[in-house]
């Protein structure tokens, strides 16, 4: 038998710590068995309605399946926003016999923070896994560019991964960054400080997180101190360019940041190439980066590639698109927790 589970019924059932562990399990299995995941695929209408599909399987957690979600995209020269975001749907099958286990409808989140984006736990947990693997273990200062829903979930996830004591936050609207700090200081054990410029948010930070909706680079790589780790979560928009909706591909990082990065790791190399993602694809096309220098998170977690090897290195984790293994890992954990409590409608 199969079960229908609504996300609002399971909000808060999965902790962020458990989500991070689940996503790490998914990427480790992906690193050993590439057939467990396929790159995200998207289709886009001329009106800007876009559907994303994320297939993956995590045998250790019992699930294989697909997450799908939609959004109506609006694009300006500098930012990408959304007229509407359709709630995600995850379809789970049993890895042992392919039986349909269930369907989870809606945004899976934590109780403390509203889930404004379709997959906030997956994205933040993935960033936490990559950041923990590459940042210096003694990192204490975090700089955040962005103060929306992704930034909130990311701060929660990163605070579970490293012992940050101070967080500097910048976004273009003063009121938004002040409200962000007031809200999040009640949730994470860090001193939060709204700052007036991107340079202030980046300078003297051990870790820099970019969680924006920008179409252009949000900081100057020259501001990075030796030993800094950067995590960027913006993927790509080549489908919108080809549909005539966006004039150019998105960038969240500048060339200086790519040039200064001694170690670069992504979720999926195939995804970066398929989507011609500007932050990496364009530097490769320009000739100052090669794909051989870009590693994958699964390989890093399995010790197949080296991560940070020196305290002064600048490292970069490009969370370059949600992968189905991460979605299915979280959905599988939620499904079994929900069923243990009798949550779900049999169908």
Same domain flag for 109 and 194:
no
Q: Which distant-in-sequence residues (6+ apart) come within 8 Å of 230 by Cβ?
A: 207, 208, 209, 210, 224, 253, 257, 261, 314, 315, 316, 317
Supply the CATH number for residue 14's domain. Answer: 3.30.1780.10
Same domain flag for 143 and 26:
no
Supply the CATH number for residue 310's domain. Answer: 3.40.50.720
- Give yes or no for residue 213 having a pLDDT over 90: no
Q: With bands split at pLDDT 50, 70 and 90, how would you rate the model's confidence at 80?
A: confident
- Give yes or no for residue 77 having a pLDDT over 80: no
- Torsions phi, psi of 155, nearest 5? -65, -40
Same domain flag for 95 and 181:
no
Q: How many residues does the chain have?
A: 347
Q: Identify the residue with better confidence: 84 or 189.
A: 189
Q: With bands split at pLDDT 50, 70 and 90, how would you rate the model's confidence at 265?
A: very high
CA–CA separation, 3 and 101 (whole Å): 7
CB 331 within 8 A of CB 104: yes
- Mean pLDDT of the chain, nearest integer: 96
This prediction has a pTM of: 0.96
Q: Give the helix/strand (H/E) hosting 209.
A: strand 207-210
Give the closest residue to 139 by CA, choosing from 27, 210, 262, 230.
Answer: 230
Same domain flag for 253 and 166:
yes
Same domain flag for 267 and 128:
yes
Q: What is the pLDDT of residue 261?
A: 98
Same domain flag for 63 and 173:
no
Same domain flag for 172 and 291:
yes
Q: What is the pLDDT of residue 59?
A: 98
Q: What is the pLDDT of residue 247?
A: 84
Q: What is the pLDDT of residue 133?
A: 98
- Give yes or no for residue 241 having a pLDDT over 90: no
CA–CA separation, 342 and 327 (whole Å): 22
Same domain flag for 272 and 334:
no
Same domain flag for 164 and 275:
yes
Q: How many folded domains does the chain comprise?
A: 2
Residue-range definition of the domain harbouring residue 8: 3-116+324-346
Q: With bands split at pLDDT 50, 70 and 90, how would you rate the model's confidence at 74?
A: confident
Same domain flag for 70 and 98:
yes
pLDDT digits (tens, 9 = 90+) for 38-47: 999 999 999 9
Same domain flag for 174 and 188:
yes
Same domain flag for 138 and 102:
no
Q: What is the CA radius of gyration of the chain?
A: 19
């Amino acid at each position: 038998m199969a079960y229908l589970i609504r996300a609002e019924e399971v909000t808060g059932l999965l902790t962020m710590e458990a989500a991070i562990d689940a996503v790490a399990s998914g990427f480790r299995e992906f690193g050993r068995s590439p057939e467990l995941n396929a790159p995200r695929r998207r289709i886009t209408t001329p009106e800007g309605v876009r559907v994303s599909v994320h297939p993956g399987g995590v045998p250790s957690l019992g699930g294989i399946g697909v997450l799908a979600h939609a959004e109506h995209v609006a694009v300006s020269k500098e930012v990408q926003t959304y007229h509407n975001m359709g709630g995600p749907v995850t379809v789970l099958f049993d890895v042992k016999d392919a039986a349909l286990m269930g369907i989870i409808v809606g945004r899976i989140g934590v109780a403390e923070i509203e889930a404004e984006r379709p997959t906030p736990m997956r994205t933040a947990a993935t960033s936490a896994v990559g950041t923990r693997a590459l940042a210096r273990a003694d990192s204490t200062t975090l700089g955040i560019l962005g103060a929306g829903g992704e930034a909130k979930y990311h701060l929660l996830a990163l605070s579970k991964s490293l012992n940050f004591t101070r967080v500097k936050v910048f976004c273009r609207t003063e009121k938004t960054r002040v409200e962000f700090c007031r809200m999040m200081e009640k949730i994470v054990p860090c001193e939060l400080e709204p700052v007036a410029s991107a340079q202030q948010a980046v300078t003297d930070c051990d870790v820099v997180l970019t969680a924006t909706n920008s179409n252009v680079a949000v900081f100057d790589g020259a501001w990075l101190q030796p030993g800094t780790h950067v995590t960027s979560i913006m993927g790509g928009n080549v489908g919108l360019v080809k549909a005539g909706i966006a004039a150019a591909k998105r960038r969240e990082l500048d060339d200086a940041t790519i040039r200064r990065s001694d170690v670069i790791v992504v979720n999926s190399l195939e995804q970066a190439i398929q989507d011609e993602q500007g932050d990496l694809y364009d530097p490769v096309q320009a000739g100052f980066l090669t794909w051989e220098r870009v590693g994958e998170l699964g390989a890093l977690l399995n010790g197949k590639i080296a991560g940070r090897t020196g305290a002064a290195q600048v490292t970069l984790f490009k969370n370059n698109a949600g992968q189905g293994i991460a979605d299915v890992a979280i959905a599988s954990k939620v499904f079994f927790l929900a069923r243990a409590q009798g949550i779900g409608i049999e169908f």
